[in-house]
Amino acid sequence: MLREVTATRYVAPLHSGGSVPGVVEADDLGVYVVKFTGSAQGRKALVAEVIVGELARALGLRFPELVLVHFDPAIAESEPHQEVRDLHAASGGVNLGMDHLPGARDFTPELAKHFRVDPLEAGRIVWLDALTTNVDRTVHSSNLMVWPTLGVAPPRLWLIDHGAALVFHHRWDGADPEKAYDFRHHALGHYGPDVRAADMELAPKVTRELLRRIVAEVPDAWLTDFATPDEARDAYVTYLHARVRASAAWLPTDFPTREELAAEEALRAARTQEGRPKWLKRVPDLHGKPAAEQDWSVHLG
């Protein structure tokens, strides 16, 4: 089960994240990035974080430890922004924390040019994303970190931020375990991900027993789609296990090369410019541009 800690000091909000998570220190002397139950994304985002993150860990992928954080809004009363204080006020009690990786950097397209990813590792990550319908790991927003970066050990890819995964739980009556999603622009697509080998390796590991253990880690209060939390847990297990068995229907295999991606981006930019009035054509198109590389000690969202 996830460890429980109590937040003792509020360090800072992360305004770059849509859910405005916050960095806190806890009574176990750890530092965590906390996603709050009162955020606009709601508790389903936290459910997705737990299920996908713990599944990633169980399959041998690198993912920071998750903990349940008891949060008292009073420790952040000095926060100057009213909207953030409102978020804290709506989030008293148990929230979700992710272990802080000091100095980690965003896996940006620029960084990716100089970073080698083994095709099988890329395939494992793509496979996990396809299984859990996580379409929010793209070339423009990878939700991947590189850590460590100080030369102490070889830098490795770490997965973060799965709140947008499990899209099926936003509409259970339309959930189709065989549905395929577009992963052509996955952040690791140009590394030639070997998703077939990943499927052969990982699919047998995703058993009902494993899924039950993982879903059991989600707090009851976050499972509100069904009459009881146990019914909700059964629904997640049933759907994900059925999706594993249907991998032949959704396994992504079509990935463009770096050159094809660059050509697509150039064509899109040209079409955007063509549709602009003359006075706007001198304004650079910033849509879809990747964010600058950032240090996770400042930005984790």
Rama region for 93: left / alpha / beta (φ>0; ψ in -120 to 50; rest): left
Per-residue pLDDT, 99: 98
The identity of residue 265, as a single letter, is E
Instruction: Write out residues in the chain with pLDDT < 70, as ranges.
Output: 16-17, 276-301
Closest CA to 61 of 143, 176, 178: 143
Per-residue pLDDT, 216: 98
How many angstroms from the chain centroid is the CA of residue 274?
35
Q: Map tokens 């220190």 to a residue.
A: 25
Per-residue pLDDT, 297: 38
Residues 160, 161, 166, 171, Cα dihedral to 10°: 180
Per-residue pLDDT, 299: 35
Per-residue pLDDT, 265: 80
Per-residue pLDDT, 75: 98
Cβ within 8 Å of residue 245, ≥6 positions away: 177, 203
Cβ within 8 Å of residue 148, ≥6 positions away: 101, 103, 104, 155, 156
From CA 185, how far away is CA 188, in angstroms rounded? 8
Strand partners, 156: 147
Per-residue pLDDT, 291: 40
Per-residue pLDDT, 259: 85
pLDDT tens, residue by residue, 140-153: 899 999 999 877 78
End-to-end CA distance of the chain: 25
Per-residue pLDDT, 294: 41
Per-residue pLDDT, 124: 98
Cβ within 8 Å of residue 225, ≥6 positions away: 169, 172, 232, 235
Per-residue pLDDT, 264: 82
